[in-house]
Structure 1
């Protein structure tokens, strides 16, 4: 393992924290890729795996708080314009952001939790939470729980792949493809679901 990633990991847990935090700000590489990699290469035993989970979860949580603070600072209209201008560069459709932002108004705790299981959305939806001035404590608790579950799943998968004797790259690639497929399905359901439901109601009526 060489290059910038190796240099960052050379700083130990601080390097891991920086990687996980930076991924929350700009998802390159995506979190599932980073976490699988860390589970496969940086966790020689269960204790180290647990430490990695704590560090990466705190880093992810900190990144969410940063975006929450940004949203709170700039307000709803400016946050909407920010996503309008920059969303396409991080594969976040402004329409998707707005729909999830609307859902935030009704069920902010549930959306905060579920958002942590959707790549890209999990990075930037906290902007909407802050812009809408949603209560900080419920947001923080739901986000921390969601980040813990998400990080644990991929770290543990990477750890198990490392000791399984299987081709880690091939299996990891399959997992990433599955995650992307699930994300795409969710986005399509979010975009076209309301239209499908209206069409079904009209046909039945």
Structure 2
């Protein structure tokens, strides 16, 4: 393992925290790639795996709280304009952001949890939570739980690949492809699902 990633991981748990935190600010590399890689290369035993889960979960939650603070500081209208200007650079459609942001008003705990499983949205929807002045403690607790579930899935998968007897990186690549495909399908359903349902109702009507 060489390059910048190796240098960062050379700082131990602090390096792991920095990687997971930075991924929440700018998702490069995507979280599933980073977590799977950490599970395969940085967890020699179960205790270390648990420590990695704790550190990455705290880092992911901290990154979300940074965006929550940004949203709280700039307000709802300016947060929306920020996403409209910058969303295309991080693959976040403003329409998707606004749609999920509106549902926050109805069920902010459920959306905070769901957001941790949606590509890109998991990084930037906390802006809407802050802009809407949603209660910080419930938001943080729900985000922490969602991040723990998401991180655990990929860390454990990477850890199990170590002793599978198969080429870990080949299997890992396949896992990433499957996850990306599922995320893409979810985003397409979120984007086109309402329009399809309206067309079906018109045809039936």
TM-score, structure 2 length as denominator?
Answer: 0.97
Unpaired stretches in structure 1, ≥5 consecutive residues: none
Gaps of 5+ in 2: none
State the aligned residue count: 205
Note if contact 1:31-1:119 (Cα within 8 Å) is conserved in structure 2.
no
- Matched with 2:127 is 127
RMSD: 0.9
TM-score (norm: length of structure 1)? 0.97
Equivalent-residue separation in structure 1 for 2:127 and 2:178 (angstroms) = 27
1:28-177 equivalences in 2 (<5 Å): 28-177=28-177
**Cα distance in 1 for residues equivalent to 2:100 and 2:171:** 32
Task: Please tell me whether residue 13 in structure 1 is matched to residue 13 in structure 2.
Answer: yes
Match of 1:201 in 2: 201
- Alpha-carbon distance in structure 1 between the residues aligned to 2:151 and 2:62: 14
CA positional deviation for 1:193: 1.1
Q: Which moved more, 1:55-64 or 1:179-188?
A: 179-188
1:203 Cα deviation (Å)? 2.4
Instruction: Note if 1:182 corresponds to 2:182.
Output: yes
Which moved further from structure 2: 135-144 or 57-66? 135-144
Measure the CA separation in 2 of the matches of 1:203 and 1:194: 14
Are 1:192 and 2:183 an aligned pair?
no
